Amino acid sequence: MQKLFSLKKTIIYFFALLGLGSLFLVGNLRFAFDFSHFFPEGDEDLLFYQNFIKDFGTDDNFLLIAIERDETVFNEDFLKRFDSFSKDAKNFPYVTENQSLTTLFYPLKSALGYTRMPIIHINDSLRYVNDWRKIQEDDIFINNLIDDNATSLVLVLETVNDLNYDQSIELLTAVRTRLKIAEFEDYHMLGRAFFYESLINMQRREFMITTTASSILIVLILFLVYRRITVVVLSLFSILLSLLLFMGLLSLLEIELTVLAAFYPILLLIVGTSDVIHIMDDYLGKLKKGLAKEVAMRLTLKEVGVSTLLTSITTAIGFGSLLTSKSTSVSGFGFNAALGVLTTFITVLFFTCAVLLLLDKKYLLPKKERPNTWVKTLISTSKFTKKNPRSILTGSLLFGIICLVGMTKINTNYQIKNSFPVNSKIANDFDFFQKKYAGFRPLEVAVQAQGTSKITDFSVVKEIEKVVQYMKSFPEIRNVQSANAFYKGLHKANNLNRSDYFTLPNDQKTFNTYQKEVHRFARRQFYKFVDSTATKSRISSKVLDVGLDSITRVYDDLDTFLATKIDTSLVTFKLTGTGILLDKNSFYVRESLINGLLMGTLLVAIIMALLFKNLKLLVISILPNILPLLFAAALLGFLGIPLEATISVVFAIVFGIAVDDTIHFLGRYKVGISQGLTQEEALKITFLETGRALVITTLSLFFGFLILLFSIHQPSVTIGLLVSVTLLTALILDLLLLPVLIRKLLK
C-alpha cells in the first residue's frame, strides 16, 4: 500500500489519459431501440417466428400515415391532394409498397373480362355519397384505410425489413417534406420508423437530463455535508470521471445504449457519491483527530475500503442477477450497470484517494467546527433500538406480512403505450390509431398444410376461413387479412360487385376458376400470404393495446378454437408475431426475476460468510435486505403497476444497493469488536462513524432516483418512485432492525 501512496502522481496522470481517451470515444456512442430487444431469447416461439419471417418477412415493416380533416374527407380538393401524396409515396426511400383508398380499385367482371372500378371517384364529387355507402357496406376498409366517421384517410407504406435509425430518419424526412408540399398539417404516423425516431430522441433527452440533474444534486448534497469547495469539486470530478470512463468503455466495446440507458448516469453518479462519501467521511474524521495523511488513508482503506469493495461487488451482483432475463435489453442493462459500478469503485479507490493524499488537509477540513447534530440524533436512534426491541421486531413482522399481501396483487397487464413519452407526438398518434383504426400490435397466424394438402386446396381454404371469421368475432382483433380475400374479392366481382358476395364460393368448380384467375391477375400480392410451395400461409391482423391480461384471454380462446374446431389432419395453425413475443416475455419476467434474485442472494450470502465468518451475522445481514425487496413488490401490487421487463430492474437496483448499507454497518461493527470493544460500545461507534455516511448516501440515492419523476418515460417515473421509497425503507430497517438483531442473536 505504501508503494501505491508513492505512485499517487502517476495514478492521477494515468486516469487523466484514460479520461481524454474516453472523451474521444464518447462521440461514437450509439443509441438503439428495437422491440426485438425485449423478445425472450432462446424461446421456442422466437425460433418459430425467426423461421416464419424467412418466408413472409417481418410484421413491423410498415409506416401508417393518417391525414385528418375537420369535416368529411370526401372533399374534391382534399382527395386530389391525398391521391397525389399517395402516388408519390412509392418514390420514398426504403418503401416497397404504397396503398390507400385512392389508389385501390374494385375488380368487376363484365362481358369483356375483368375491369377496375375506383373505390373513390375522385374527380366526380356527385358520386361521393354512393362511394362512402359502398365502403360502409363492404366493411373491409373501415378502421383500416378510413375511419368509421370518414374524417381521416390512411396511406399504408410497406418498407424494407429491419429499418435502422438512419434509414428511418431518411424516410421520415422525405414523408414530412412531401406532407408540407401537400399542405397537410393534421397528420398522424405509426410504425417502426416513427417509433425508432421518437424513442431514440427520448433516450438522448433522458440521458442528458438525468446526467445534468444528478450532477447538480450531488454538488448540493456534498456542499451541504462538507462545506468545502475543494471537497465538492474533487468528489464531483471523481464521479464524473468514472461516468466518462464507463461511457468510453461502452463505446470501445461497441455496446449500443437502449431505452434503459437513462438510468446509467443516476446509478453511477449516485453509487459513486456513496463510495466517495464513505471514504471521504472516514478519512476526514481521522484527519480531524490529528493523524498524518498517509496514516489516515491507510486506516481508512483498512476499515472502510474493504467494505466499499464488498458493497461494489454486491451491487454488481445485484445487477448481474438481470443476466438471467431472456430479454436482451434487460440482461444487457444488468451487465452494463455491473461494469459501471466496478469502474466507479476503481476510479474512486485509486484516483480520488491519490488526489486526497496530494491535497493539504487545510483545504479539506472545515475552517470552523459547526454544532454537530448528527451525534445526538444517531445516539438517540441507538438508544431507541435498545429500549424498544420487541416493538421493532413486531413492526418488522407486520410490515413483512403486509408486503406479502401486496405481492399477491401483482399483475402483468402491460400496455405498449406505456413505453412512449408522456404527452408526446408518438403517444398521441398511438392513441389516435388505437381509437380510430386497428392499432399497432401485430398478430400473425402461421398456417401449415399437412400431408399432401396444399394451402390452395378448397378444403384447406375453408378451414382457414373458419379461423378468419372466428378472429373477426373478437372486438380486440382488427384488420384480419388472409389469402382468402383474393378468392372472396373475385367472387364479389363476378356477382356485380355486391357486398354480400364477399365470401368464398360454395362449390369446388367455381373456386378452381377463381384460383386460376388469382394467379393471373394478383400473383405478386397473393404470394405475400402463401409461400412458393403452397404449403405455408399466414393470417395477418392487428390487436388493440387493451392490456396483456385481456389479450392473453384472446390468445387462449384462439388456441382452444384452433385445437378443437379445426381439421388438423388438413392444416394446422400457430399464433406468432412480434406482439406474441413481447407478451410472452412479460411472463418470463417474473420467473427470471425470482431466479436472478435467488442466485444474487446466494452469491451475496457467500460473500457475507467469507467476510464475517459467522453464521449468525450472515442471517442478520440477509434479513433486513429481504424486506425492501418484498416492499418493492408490494408497491407494485398495491399501486396496480403492471410488472414488465423494464420495471423488473427495480429489484436488481434495490437488492444491489440496499445491501451496501448493511455491509458498511456490520463491517464497522466487526472492526469495533475486533478492537476489544463491548457490544454496546461497538454499536455506538458504528452509529457515530458509519451511521452518518449511511444517511447521507441513502438520501443522495433517494433524491437522485426522485429525479426520474420528471421523466417523460412512464416506466422511468415508476422506477424512480419505487427505488427511492424502497431504499429509504432499507435505511430505516438497517438503523432500527439491524441493532436489534445483533443484540438478540449475538449475545
* pLDDT of 56 above 70: yes
pLDDT above 90 (res 464): yes
Highest mean pLDDT (candidates 50-59, 209-218, 427-436, 658-667): 427-436
User: 365 or 581: whose pLDDT is higher?
Assistant: 581
CATH class for the domain made up of 58-196: alpha beta
Do residues 242 and 272 lie in contact, with contact meaning Cβ atoms separated by under 8 Å?
yes
**Residue 549, pLDDT above cutoff 90:** no
Asked whether residue 436 carries a pLDDT value surpassing 80, the answer given is: yes
The mean of the pLDDT values for the chain is 84
Note the pLDDT tens digit of each residue in 63-108: 999 999 988 999 999 999 999 999 999 999 999 999 999 998 888 7
d(CA 151, CA 139): 16
Rounded to two decimals, the pTM is: 0.79
Grid cell at residue 9: 502522481
| pLDDT interval class at 132 (50, 70, 90) | very high
Whether 118 and 100 have beta carbons less than 8 Å apart is answered as no
**Do the domains at 2-37+227-408+583-745 and 58-196 have one common CATH topology?**
no
In the 3-class helix/strand/coil scheme, how is 410-452 assigned residue by residue?
A: CCCCCCHHHHCECCCHHHHHHHHHHHHCCCCEEEEEEEEECCC
Architecture of domain 2-37+227-408+583-745: Up-down Bundle (1.20)
For the chain, the farthest-separated pair of C-alpha atoms sits apart, in whole angstroms, at: 109
pLDDT higher for 9 or 659? 9
Q: Which of 202, 647, 258, 206 lies closest to 426 in space, CA to CA?
A: 202
Q: Which regions of 60-207 does DSSP assign to beta strands (E)?
A: 62-68, 95-99, 105-110, 113-118, 152-159, 187-191
> Confidence band (pLDDT; 50, 70, 90) for 173?
very high
Q: Which of 440-444, 450-454, 594-598, 720-724 has the highest mean pLDDT?
A: 450-454
User: How is the chain split into domains, by residue range?
Assistant: 2-37+227-408+583-745, 58-196, 436-578
- What stretches of 613-709 show up as alpha helix (H) in DSSP? 615-639, 649-674, 679-686, 692-706
